[in-house]
Structure 1
Amino acid sequence: MYKTTIFAEGVASIQRYLSERENSTRTFEKYLEACKSLEAFYFLENIQHYETDANKRYRIHVDTLVKKGEISERQGRHYRRFSLMMDDFYHDRPFQERYQTGKQYKYRLSEDSSQWVDKFLKSLTLAESTIPSAGTIARSFFYFLEQNNLAVETMMTEKNLVNFLNFKHTENKNSMEFVLYLFRKLLQFLKASGVPINGMELVSYKAAASRRKVLPAIDSCDMELLLKYPDRETAIGKRNYAILLLASCSGMRCMDLANLKQEQINRREKSIVLVQHKTNQPLSLPVNQETLDALDDYLTHARPNSSLPYVFLTIFAPYRKLQSQSIQAMFIQNLRAAGIEKKAYDGKSFHAFRRTIGKWLLESDANTEMISQVLGHRNQNVLQRYLPLASDILRECALDFTYAPVTTEVYK
């Protein structure tokens, strides 16, 4: 093992921390590599002991190496994290689960424009979760002005405002109503700040209704292929099979699957009782015996030995709750590996399980109240998006041309 000299105490403390979090040996080896890199930097700088300023310069040095391609982005993250952990150790601070590397904005603004954005955000009385979105709209607006050499105080014309909305439409086609709402707030703030605006009638504009296309459900053949693909002889295969089978029979949302706890599975009643993440409403779902057997197989033979209450965990240490993004990625990976064609925006996402359940229930003549309860919808009108999937039912409702004969002139 590499013997450190300058940071011996810090490395020992980090090793204990990683061991307590059940990190793998490979992870600790990566931190030792980071230690070598940091000590080499100290040697070149002729520094014999830990210095906070030297650590800051080292992180800038690491960023330069990443940009030049001399080390990978992943290596850079480990090097920066090790340096930040050293800062915490030598300042008697606890190690953090995650280290923030600073805000990385998509739109880089001048100092004057940044000050406008800061003032706008401070003036808002919106929900805390909405503030970042408002900041994005404001930054993109001032970025648009700067890129077109337009001054805030003199170029607030209707033409420029409309051009900005057209620019945003290319990025936010499906959320223009929300964009307009936040843009109104920004224009009202600028007007209240004394900026003359020619085109304030834009605040009354409404976004055009979105043209929703009917996204597909998963047909029986694809469902069979999808459930056959996971290798149920391996730990990851048992876990993935249990997730896919549970989603296919319950229609649970991805986030609810990620948050599912062992105590929420009622084997005696063959049900799962949970509070939905999206609606914060309680929901009880029936689960068949096959799905319960798959869950038991995973929990007994494949789930890591961890005190975490969640059902689905990562396979490798440090063991954590499986995130919804990981479940989505697993679904896409299994979909393609099973030979099912996947194209961008074709609707073949994890949410397709919910559309499939909605379609099956419609075709089995279930009433709308029952379907809403199973899918966890607060508004029964949401079911309208599932109706086009039930083509057999729609076919029964279709009218023929018996009483409205079609003449040849129609086709001329």
Structure 2
Amino acid sequence: MPKTVLQYQCYATILNEYLHLEEFSTLSELTIKGKRLALTQLINYLGDNRIYTFSDCLQKHVSNHIDQISYLSNQTISGRLFIFRHFFNFLHQKGITTYSGNELFPVIFTNKRERILSFYSIEEIKQVISAVNRNTKSGKRDLAIILLASELGMRSSDICHLKLTDLYWERGTIEFIQYKTKAYLQLPLPESVRYVLIDYLKNARPTCTCKNVFVGIKNGFAPLSNTCIHIFVSHYFKKGNIDISERKHGPHALRHSLASNLMKNNTPMYVIRDVLGHSNLNTTRIYLNIDLDTLKQIALEVPYETVW
């Protein structure tokens, strides 16, 4: 997918002022990128329609843009609406628009539990792992990445940013600050993951000055990107002949699968929370949506009643 860039520089100053608000200082870079993407697409739409300042932006223009992005998922659109509401509140407070974000979007309907997350069985995950050629340098790297996601539940962003100094061999842990939440996380380093990492570091990782565990070859030994990791993982789903027709098949699917399989083994929710690095148990509860078999088993049967 091509990168979305700001086409109308007349909006650059106000956009940058907004994205550098003090209240955003603790947000992750990923969250800020999401805000920038949503607002850049809105701005490009306005510019394409010869609207070159937000003071000339009417509520119908925002509504028309939302209609234009209706192909996005309901959850993504809801997220965009929250961004737009906050942004237009900002513009209204500065006296740029005659209406506020609260007037524009008084109610935003969202249901974060409407989406069934993609997950795979233990047998399917084994097929993915078996599809990796461990005799090649790229295979050694990819296997380590897959195991970090499938056995430890690491996000792709954390795998990308994982440093050599985050590996504590002597005490058998991986410890790092999560890229998304900025919270500290300590994970165990089981032997299955330890030996694969050692094999990659000793026999496949290029000699370079980069401090990240995973580096590329064609990019001048720079850290791998989220996109690269997604491409690698997706390749092995397909190579392992896994049915991915109705499921996502990137590193996050491996993370979701870990949560699902832990629940099937009756692992307490607080343990799953700690494994996934969630600070709030309510965040972890979303993973209840993916364990359909268990939900069916515990569902109460509606008693039959005769109406006289």
Supply the distance in 2 between the matched residues of 1:122 and 1:265 (Cα, whole angstroms).
37
1:143 equivalent in structure 2: 47
Q: Structure 2: which 5+ residue stretches go unaligned? A: 26-31
Supply the distance in 2 between the matched residues of 1:138 and 1:379 (Cα, whole angstroms).
33
SS in 2 for 1:188: helix
2:28 equivalent in structure 1: none
Q: After TM superposition, give the deviation of residue 185 of structure 1 in Å.
A: 3.5
Please tell me the residue identity of whatever aligns with 1:368: M
Whether 2:271 is the aligned partner of 1:375: answer no
Supply the distance in 2 between the matched residues of 1:390 and 1:154 (Cα, whole angstroms).
49
Supply the distance in 2 between the matched residues of 1:355 and 1:218 (Cα, whole angstroms).
8
Whether 2:303 is the aligned partner of 1:399: answer no
Bigger relative CO (Cα 8 Å, ≥ 6 apart): 2
Supply the distance in 2 between the matched residues of 1:247 and 1:235 (Cα, whole angstroms).
19
Contact 1:251 1:354 in 2 (8 A): yes
Q: Structure 1: which 5+ residue stretches go unaligned? A: 1-102, 408-412
Q: After TM superposition, give the deviation of residue 302 of structure 1 in Å.
A: 1.3
Q: After TM superposition, give the deviation of residue 237 of structure 1 in Å.
A: 0.8
Superposition CA RMSD, Å: 3.5
SS in 1 for 2:145: helix
Supply the distance in 1 between the matched residues of 2:125 and 2:110 (Cα, whole angstroms).
33
Q: After TM superposition, give the deviation of residue 381 of structure 1 in Å.
A: 0.4
1:257 equivalent in structure 2: 159
1:270 equivalent in structure 2: 172
Structure with bigger gyration radius: 1
> Deviations along 1:115-163, whole A, 9 cap, x unmatched?
4x3564476462474784575265245236438xx9987884x555543
Contact 2:237 2:244 in 1 (8 A): yes
1:321 equivalent in structure 2: 223
Q: After TM superposition, give the deviation of residue 178 of structure 1 in Å.
A: 2.9
Whether 2:244 is the aligned partner of 1:244: answer no
1:360 equivalent in structure 2: 261
SS in 2 for 1:272: strand
Whether 2:203 is the aligned partner of 1:301: answer yes
Q: After TM superposition, give the deviation of residue 189 of structure 1 in Å.
A: 6.4
**Number of equivalent positions:** 291
Contact 2:133 2:140 in 1 (8 A): yes
TM-score (ref. length: structure 1):
0.61
2:29 equivalent in structure 1: none
Supply the distance in 2 between the matched residues of 1:151 and 1:267 (Cα, whole angstroms).
56
Contact 2:160 2:225 in 1 (8 A): yes
2:242 equivalent in structure 1: 340
2:84 equivalent in structure 1: 180
SS in 2 for 1:312: coil
Contact 1:270 1:288 in 2 (8 A): yes
Whether 2:179 is the aligned partner of 1:282: answer no
Contact 1:138 1:183 in 2 (8 A): no
2:213 equivalent in structure 1: 311
Q: After TM superposition, give the deviation of residue 240 of structure 1 in Å.
A: 0.8
Supply the distance in 2 between the matched residues of 1:405 and 1:134 (Cα, whole angstroms).
52
Q: Identity of counterpart residues, as a percentage?
A: 22
